[in-house]
Structure formats: structure tokens, C-alpha cells
Amino acid sequence: MSTLTDPLSPTFEPRPEPLRALGLLSGGLDSTLAARLLMDQGIEVECVNFHTGFCIQSHTGALRNPKPGAAPPRHDALHAAGNLGIRLHLVDIAEDYVRIVTDPKHGYGKNLNPCLDCKIFMVQKAHEMMRSMGFHFLFTGEVLGQRPMSQRRDTFPVIDRESGAGGWLLRPLTALRMPLTEPEKRGWVDRSRLMGFSGRNRKPQMALARQLGIVDYPSPAGGCCFLTDENYARKLRDLWSYRGERSYAMEDILLLKAGRHLRPAPHYKLVIGRDDSENHFLSGFVEGRILIKARDIPGPLTLVEGTPSPDDLIFACRLAARFGRARELPEVAMVVEVQGSREIHQVIPLPAHEMDEAWYV
Amino acid sequence: MSDVRDPAPDGMDSVPVADRVVDARRLLCPMPILKAEGAMREMRDGEVLEVRATDPGLRNDLPAWCRSQGHRFAGMRSQGRELQGWVVKGMG
Ligand code: SF4
């Protein structure tokens, strides 16, 4: 059976030249393969990658001291686009994305990941770009059954419908298991050269990569963003519950990525750097927060958020002192900076038996 | 990297003269690139953009970004935590 639409069929339409497709590129293997399958059919491919503020890749690497000999972190989508030789549009959707995270219509996955709303939103944005930039159709690297929340037989039509993309979204890796999309119906895309992958097994993708000579791709992660991370989600929930509302600023969600977070009382929280790199990173967030540091000895930088009383601040100094070399001293001078004013407190570092595990967010 | 004052970037004889500088220090990936992209939109072909950043990812990301945008990557150097990279618009 030929899978190319018959020129005599009522849906046939001559293929535009060049035929241009816009894809969602995460930089992982799936979206890279999807792009290659279309490029190999002579389709002109460009991709888009959305910045939500929760991107997991490289941030952990960029925040901590590098392990000796470790390669510098990289942005997977940029790297994949460079390898594919295609143009990548990096689009910052962080501001609009707040609404997706704080109030997702379709709810959350295992942690605070609103995957279905997220996908709909991204495809919707891509669809707007498709129309304004003269692309003929969209594609993603989605595979049926691969992710529990968004990549299901019953969620694909929801994505297509609610994003407004309708039949103009092609999923090259799983197309043979899906109804015909518009570009296939018109005979623009050769369906026989698309795939019918499904499920969580990644062997077929890896075999296809080998066949296409794609060797340099990141190993699959649990999800594409910090919202799928249990520890991160816990910190974000903590932030929301003590604020009394689901909201966040860019600064908040960046700060949740760094340091130890301890909440000794509901109305304030400490963020303590774990190494030089984190201390440096935290030092960029002093504005609007209280900074604590040991005066004469090396130790971490601590930020305090919330509304601590003067007594709370003394306690915070004792707690912060535990995490540096000050811990071994009977008494230590801690510097407290609040909006430019500076105080020194002589404190006794908090002994181990007064620490409470429950303070760790 | 050496600590000599103003060393030329790897493989270059001199420090390029920038038409525009983007300061993305302390910002995390992909903000340095997003800022660079914003600046490029207002520049002409052949002009030089300098990007300053502290996210070590710039080392990989700036050249990759150039490849995907058709700019020419003109070099990079580091001093301490800071990275400085140069890009020539549209000359890839
Ligand atoms: S893991 Fe994060 S970025 Fe990926 S679909 Fe889910 S919410 Fe969106």
C-alpha cells in the first residue's frame, strides 16, 4: 500500500516549495529524530525552544562548583540545532507561563508538573509563530505512551484541539499510530517514511539514531523541567503555602534551585549556599532579603526571606553559623545586612542536638 | 586561561572591538543567549557583539547559537568566573 496520498484523491494538494515546518525542539533524542525525519524528506525545518524559567538542564551544573574535569554544561536544544544545521528560535514565555504553573486547567502530574497545560500552551505559541512566520505545519517529537501525563492516546487530541493547531500538528515518531494529519492528507509528507513508535522503550529511537548517524544526544531525563523534580516541587509548595497564595516571581523560582532551604518558623526561611559558586549566585539576590555571613572565618552566605523578628535573626545567625567553620568555635561574630545597614552579632553556633530535621524544606 | 591583563581570546591575535556589549553576568542559561538575541535584532550584519556572562554554559552555548543563527563565533576568553565571548552578526 502506498502511503503517499494519491494525486487523484480529493485531499491531494500540490506540495508548496519549499515546504516549511516548525518543530518544538527540546534537544533530546526524540525531537532531534523528528526533525531529521522531516529534513530527510526535503522539508525545510526550523525549531523553537521555549524558556519557562524551570529548565533543568545545565542549571544545576551552572550553580555548583564544577566537578574536576567535568565538561561545561550546555543548552541541549541549541546544541541539537547546531548539529542539525537548522535555525532555532529561543522564545521566552516565562511571564505567561506563571498562569500555567499556578492554575493548570488539567492539573498536575506526579509533582508540580502541569505537563498537559504546558504542552498545549507551547503548541499554541508555536502555532501562532507558524502563522506569522509562514510555516506550513508543526511537529513535535512526542511518542504515544511515553510520558504518563501528556503523551497518551486521549491527550494528543486535547493538545491538538486546545492549542488551536488542529490537524496541523504532526508527530513523526508516532505518526503511524495516529490518524492522518493535514500535511499527510495533502500528500506533502511521505507517511511511509514516518515511524510508529510507542511506549517507554527507547530502543527503537536509539536504533534510528544509529541509522541516521546521530551520536551526540543527551541521555533521557525524567522530565524536561524542575517541576517534575520532587525536591523542587516541595520547595515551591512550601513557598506557596507560607505566602498564602500560588504566585511566584522569576527570582523566587531561581532561588529555589540553589542552596539548602531551612524554615525554622512559618514566617521566615533561610537559604544557605553549599559552595563558592552557590554563594556567588546567592549574592545576586541580596536585594529585598537579609544577608548573614560569618565575619572573620570562611563560611557560607545565607539569605533570609520573610519577616523575622530581631530574636529570630539572632537565631538565624546561630543556625547559619552551623554550616561553616564557625561551627567548631564557642562563639562567632556574624554580620547581618539589611538594606545596606550592617550589624554584628556575637552568637553561639547552634549545637547539633538543637537542630530539627523538620526545618529542611 | 592565563591571568595576563587583556589576553586575546583563544586563537586570536587581539581582543575584538565590540559595537555592542551585553552584560549577562549572574544570569542563568538561556538568559545570556536570549539577551544576545535581543541585542542582535538591533544590529547590522558585520557588527560585533560582546557577551559577558558567568554561567559556564556560555562556553558551549555561544558557538552552538552562532551555528544555528548563521553568525560567526569570533572567540571567547575567561578570567576567574567571568566569560567574555564575541560574535559577528550574520557572517557564519
Ligand atoms: S516536564 Fe515541565 S516542561 Fe516538560 S511538559 Fe511537563 S511541565 Fe512542561
**Hunting for cell 542552596 — which residue is that?**
A259
**Hunting for cell 567548631 — which residue is that?**
A328
Q: What are phi and psi of A171, to 5 degrees?
A: -115, 85
State if residue A224 touches ligand 1 by the CB under 6 angstroms criterion: yes
Whether B2 has a pLDDT exceeding 80, the answer reads no
Total residue count of chain B as it appears in this document: 92
- CA-nearest residue to B28 within chain A is A59
Is A61 within 8 Å of B33 when comparing Cβ atoms? no
A58 and B CB contact within 8 Å? yes
What is the pLDDT at residue B10? 67
Residue B37 lies in a domain: yes
* Nine-digit cell string for A343: 550589624
Check: CB of residue A56 under 8 Å from CB of residue A108: no
State if residue A49 touches ligand 1 by the CB under 6 angstroms criterion: no
Check: CB of residue A141 under 8 Å from CB of residue A170: no
Whether B1 has a pLDDT exceeding 50, the answer reads no
What is the pLDDT at residue A223? 60
Residue B66 annotated in active site:
no
Please identify among residues 264-293 of chain A the ones whose CB lies closer than 8 Å to any CB of chain B: 280-281, 284
The alpha carbon of A230 and the centre of ligand 1 are apart by a number of angstroms equal to 14
Q: Whose CA is nearest to atom 5 of ligand 1?
A: A115
Whether B29 has a pLDDT exceeding 70, the answer reads yes
Chain A nearest C-alpha distance from B66 (Å): 8
* Nine-digit cell string for A37: 525525519
Residue B9 lies in a domain: no
What strands lie across the sheet with A169-170, from one edge to the other? Answer: A87-92, A44-51, A20-24, A137-139, A169-170
Q: What one-letter code names the amino acid at A73? A: P
What is the pLDDT at residue A5? 65
Domain A3-226 listed as CATH 3.40.50.1820: no
3-state DSSP call for residue A201?
coil
**Tens digits of residue pLDDT in B30-62:** 899 999 999 999 999 999 999 999 998 999 999
Round the CA-based radius of gyration of chain B to a whole number and report it: 12
User: What is the domain-level CATH number for residue B51?
Assistant: 3.30.110.40
What is the pLDDT at residue B4? 41
**Tens digits of residue pLDDT in A119-136:** 999 999 999 999 999 999
* Nine-digit cell string for A126: 508555536
Is A78 within 8 Å of B61 when comparing Cβ atoms? yes
Beta strand B20-24 pairing with B48-53: parallel
Check: CB of residue A264 under 8 Å from CB of residue A356: yes
Is this prediction's ipTM beyond 0.90? no
What is the pLDDT at residue A221? 60
Tell me which residues of chain B have a C-beta less than 8 Å from any C-beta of chain A: 26, 28-31, 33-34, 37, 54-57, 59-61, 63-65, 67-70, 81
- Where helices occur in chain A by DSSP H, the ranges are 29-39, 59-63, 76-84, 94-102, 115-133, 156-163, 182-185, 203-211, 230-243, 250-255, 276-282, 310-321
Check: CB of residue A167 under 8 Å from CB of residue A161: no
Structural domain count, chain B: 1
What is the pLDDT at residue A63? 75
Residue B80 lies in a domain: yes
Closest approach atom of ligand 1 to CA A52: 3
A52/A96 Cα distance (integer angstroms)? 9
The alpha carbon of A114 and the centre of ligand 1 are apart by a number of angstroms equal to 7
- Cis, peptide link before residue A349, omega less than 30° from 0: no
Q: What is the mean pLDDT of each run of 10 residues along chain A (361 residues)?
A: 64 92 95 98 97 74 72 86 94 94 95 95 98 98 88 93 98 97 96 96 95 88 78 94 90 91 96 92 92 92 96 97 89 93 95 94 95
Query: Which of A52, A75, A89, A285 should one mutate to test binding to chain B, selecting the residue with the greatest count of B CBs within 10 A?
Result: A75
**Catalytic member of B18, B27, B29, B43:** B29
3-state DSSP call for residue A357?
helix
Closest approach atom of ligand 1 to CA A227: 2
Check: CB of residue A81 under 8 Å from CB of residue A70: no
Domain range spanning residue B46?
Answer: 20-88
Averaged pLDDT, B63-81: 93
Is A57 within 8 Å of B29 when comparing Cβ atoms? yes
State if residue A31 touches ligand 1 by the CB under 6 angstroms criterion: no
What is the pLDDT at residue A298? 87
Residue B46 lies in a domain: yes
A337/A302 Cα distance (integer angstroms)? 11
Torsion, CA A306, CA A311, CA A317, CA A322, rounded to 10: -100
Please identify among residues 206-225 of chain A the ones whose CB lies closer than 8 Å to any CB of chain B: none
Is A51 within 8 Å of B30 when comparing Cβ atoms? yes
